[in-house]
């Protein structure tokens, strides 16, 4: 909830600046009475020859601007706030991971954290398949398979 609040606040602050910047750049084009394309076989004025097409191009630009800004805004927000912990309510005590007791069995394997909450594979899950995906060289073996097998060996006392 806190991240959503910051996202809305960041949007409210940044969007007027972006609109003002776009207005400064494209205002002369949108308010032009003549816009001649000299690169065609026969140069023509799109504003006077095709006024409906010109209005449609303006609408398409505005729609694509809003759509692309929304996508870029999310990327920028996630990049800026990815290093800042926005949820400080769930502090994790790493000493308690080894003392975790699953309700179904005493055997479980700590996998990692998701939103500062520990993720475990219970005993039934350890008898199933585990899928680890990624492209070549991303560290599937060194960062996933080796730690999992080391943890399983520690569980069995080997």
Of the pLDDT bands very low, low, confident and very high (cuts 50, 70, 90), residue 98 is very low
Owning domain of residue 6: 2-81
Predicted confidence at residue 140, as pLDDT, reads: 85
Quick check: 7 and 14 in contact, CB under 8 A? no
Q: How many independent structural domains does the chain possess?
A: 2
Does residue 51 sit in the same domain as residue 110? no
How big is the chain, counted in residues? Answer: 158
pLDDT band at 158 (very low <50, low <70, confident <90, very high): low
What's the confidence (pLDDT) of residue 105?
54
The pLDDT assigned to 92 comes to: 46
pTM: 0.43
Pairing of strands 44-45, 36-37: antiparallel
Is 129 a domain residue? yes
Q: What secondary structure letter does DSSP report for 95?
A: G
pLDDT digits (tens, 9 = 90+) for 106-141: 677 777 777 888 888 877 777 888 888 888 988 888
CA-closest candidate to residue 102, choices 135, 126, 74, 78: 126
pLDDT at 157: 66
**pLDDT on residue 134:** 86
pLDDT of residue 12: 84
- pLDDT per residue as tens digits for the range 15-73: 888 888 888 888 888 888 888 877 767 777 888 888 898 889 888 988 888 888 888 88
- For residue 89, is it within any domain? no
The secondary element (H helix, E strand) that includes residue 83 is none
Which residues share a beta bridge with 118? 113
Clarify whether residues 6 and 74 are in a common domain.
yes
Among the candidates 24, 58, 81, a domain finishes at 81
């Amino acid at each position: 909830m806190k991240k959503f609040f910051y996202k809305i606040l960041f949007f409210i602050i940044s969007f007027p600046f972006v609109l003002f910047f776009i207005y400064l750049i494209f205002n002369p084009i949108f308010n032009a009475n003549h816009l001649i394309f000299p690169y065609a076989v026969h140069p023509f004025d799109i504003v006077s020859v095709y006024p409906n097409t010109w209005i449609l191009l303006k609408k398409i630009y505005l729609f694509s601007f809003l759509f692309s800004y929304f996508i870029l805004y999310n990327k920028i927000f996630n990049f800026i706030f990815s290093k800042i912990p926005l949820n400080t309510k769930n502090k994790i005590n790493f000493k308690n991971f080894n003392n975790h007791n699953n309700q179904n069995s005493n055997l479980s394997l700590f996998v990692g954290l998701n939103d500062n909450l520990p993720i475990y594979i219970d005993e039934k899950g350890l008898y199933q398949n585990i899928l680890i995906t990624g492209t070549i060289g991303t560290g599937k073996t060194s960062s996933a398979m080796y730690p999992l097998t080391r943890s399983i060996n520690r569980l069995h006392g080997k």
